[in-house]
């Protein structure tokens, strides 16, 4: 559906986007994950046809988006990081304004505003002025504005920055709901948890480059980091850690206070074996804590720094 090929954008000496390539397929929730300044917004601005690349190509259904800007803009919905609303107008008036920009009018515009306000769950507050809205409500209205013309792809640039947890959850669930309705999503974030929750495919960006991409399982597989299982026991001794180490799939086991810390490949299959070994040795488990490697670990492994410093 969307192909980004060898994309570059320089601002003077700053290589904001430095040779980026990726592909988004119909139905994806595609995540661009990276810290502040990684180049996510600049990439998104070029895909949205708002910024011309220094070089490289962006193809939508096989055609250059810069040769077909008008039709591409009709097919894309863009939720920018900066809230693009008129504070002194009501929510309804803002939606009417954005709808008219996309050429909607009359009953079609009215019906779409109703449909969209159902999706973003703002129907009860549409008559209020936007400067009376919370940050989360403004973000939801912004999403609504991007949906009015029924885009087939929605591009969202860090839509949950600076809002309360409840609004954040609402936005995340809206993203999944829209995807279930057939809308392809590009979602940028520096929150690893959001990308893990939403995305079937992830590109990790840092300093203008894609440093890794794939499904979450593929990315975690790539760093070959093991799952950590902390088994807290009623008592521990050297024998039990040796016995647990004998389990197929466990790569190491060491004792820390009343806990045996194991590393292994697949927690799901190991847990039953661990429980069995512990009871065979006359002990019992007080608690088990499983820490699977995540995208944060992938970023740390590849860059030597945390996603959020």
Ligand X SMILES: Nc1ncnc2c1ncn2[C@@H]1O[C@H](COP(=O)(O)OP(=O)(O)OP(=O)(O)O)[C@@H](O)[C@H]1O
- Specify the residue for token string 């809206």: 174
Work out how close the CB of 236 gets to ligand X at its nearest, in angstroms, rounded to a whole number: 45
Q: How many residues bind ligand X (CB under 6 A)?
A: 12
Minimal distance, residue 39 CB to ligand X, in Å:
4
CA pair distance 125, 144, nearest whole angstrom: 13
Give me the 30-59 binding string for ligand X, x by CB under 6 A, dash otherwise: ----x-xxxxxxx-----------------
Q: 119 or 302: whose CB is closer to ligand X?
A: 302
CA distances from 232 to 62, 247, 285 (A): 55, 17, 6
Structure tokens of 215?
């499904």
Q: Which of 5, 6, 14, 103 binds ligand X (CB under 6 A)?
A: 14
Q: How far is CA 64 from CA 7, 49, 67, 112, in A?
A: 13, 10, 5, 29
Q: Between 14 and 176, whose beta carbon lies closer to ligand X?
A: 14
Least distance (Å) between residue 43 CB and ligand X: 7
Contact between 69 and ligand X by CB under 6 A: the answer reads no
User: Given the complex with ligand X, which of 16 and 47 has the nearer CB atom?
Assistant: 16
Interacting positions 181-210 with ligand X (CB under 6 A)? none
Rule CB under 6 A: which of 148-177 touch ligand X?
Answer: 158
Q: What number of CA atoms fall less than 13 Å from residue 205's CA on the CB side?
A: 31
CB of 247 to ligand X, least distance (A): 43
Q: Phi, psi at residue 14, to the nearest 5°?
A: -85, 120
- Residue 167 CB, nearest distance to ligand X (Å)? 19
With H, G, I as helix, E, B as strand and everything else as coil, classify residue 50: coil
Q: Which of 216, 163, 224 is nearest to 33 (CA)?
A: 216
Dihedral of the alpha carbons of 29, 34, 39, 42, in degrees to the nearest 10: 30
Site residues, ligand X (CB under 6 A): 11, 14, 16, 34, 36-42, 158
């Amino acid at each position: 559906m969307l192909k980004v090929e060898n994309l570059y954008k320089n601002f003077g000496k700053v290589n904001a986007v430095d040779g980026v390539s990726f592909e988004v397929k119909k139905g994806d929730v595609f995540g661009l994950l990276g810290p502040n300044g990684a180049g996510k917004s600049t990439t998104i601005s070029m895909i949205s046809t708002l910024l011309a690349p220094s070089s490289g190509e962006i193809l939508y259904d096989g055609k250059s988006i810069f040769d077909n800007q008008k039709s591409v803009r009709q097919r894309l919905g863009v939720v920018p990081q900066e809230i693009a609303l008129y504070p002194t107008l009501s929510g309804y008036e803002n939606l009417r304004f954005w709808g008219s920009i996309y050429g909607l009018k009359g009953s079609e515009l009215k019906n779409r505003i109703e449909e969209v306000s159902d999706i973003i769950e703002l129907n009860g507050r549409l008559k209020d002025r936007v400067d009376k809205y919370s940050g989360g409500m403004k973000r939801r209205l912004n999403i609504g504005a991007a949906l009015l013309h029924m885009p087939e792809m929605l591009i969202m640039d860090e839509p949950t920055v600076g809002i309360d947890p409840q609004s954040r959850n609402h936005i995340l669930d809206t993203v999944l709901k829209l995807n279930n309705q057939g809308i392809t999503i590009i979602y940028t974030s520096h929150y690893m948890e959001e990308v893990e929750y939403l995305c079937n495919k992830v590109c990790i960006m840092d300093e203008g480059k894609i440093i890794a991409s794939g499904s979450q399982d593929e990315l975690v597989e790539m760093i070959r980091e093991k799952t950590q299982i902390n088994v807290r026991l009623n008592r521990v001794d050297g024998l039990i850690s040796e016995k647990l180490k004998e389990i197929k799939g466990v790569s190491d086991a060491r004792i820390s206070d009343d806990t045996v810390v194991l590393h292994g490949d697949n927690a799901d299959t190991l847990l039953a074996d661990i429980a069995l070994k512990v009871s065979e040795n006359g002990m019992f488990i007080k608690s088990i804590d499983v820490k699977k490697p995540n995208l944060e670990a992938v970023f740390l492994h590849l860059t030597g720094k945390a996603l959020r410093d």
